[in-house]
Amino acid sequence: MNGLRGDKENAMYSERHNSKIIIKGLKIYAYHGKLPEEKKLGQFFLLDLVIYFNFLENVPSDTLENTINYVEVINFIKEKFTEKNFNLIETAAEYLCDSVLKYFQKIYKVDITLRKPTPPVNADFDYVAVEVMKSRDSLGSVLL
């Protein structure tokens, strides 16, 4: 064989080496919401992140410098989520996705689920959530 792969084999090879890091249930206190009480009192929000990167390209050895440092991602998310106040969780999640893709060059896709466990609604439910998925290709105007 001459070392060249066909399209189908290239797709399989590429899929095997794509990796993701999952951060579940990141709890952050912030002041997001439309109502004055939400802006004044604040509340906890829960975030789930899935960040995608190419394992083969970014981790040729077993060192932290060659991968995505999830501690750095967590600290970055905490900082970005609390530096501005948003009326909508949709806007906050979009902002986080854009910020992650802009700052972490090795990440090519990010999925963020932002949950608001205690919205001011007179009803019995677990939470309200929004999920935003963005890739580096979809990165348009960024609110940075």
Three-state DSSP at 112 gives: strand
Backbone angles phi, psi at 19, to 5 degrees: -130, 165
- Of the residues 39, 106, 116, 134, only one is catalytic, namely 116
Give the C-alpha separation, 61 to 86, whole Å: 40
Give the C-alpha separation, 37 to 139, whole Å: 33
Q: Using CA of residue 131, residue 91, residue 74, residue 47, what is the dihedral sign? A: negative
Q: Active site includes 116?
A: yes
Give the C-alpha separation, 62 to 17, whole Å: 15
Helices 89-103 and 70-83 sit at what angle, rounded to 10 degrees? Answer: 140
Active site residues: 116
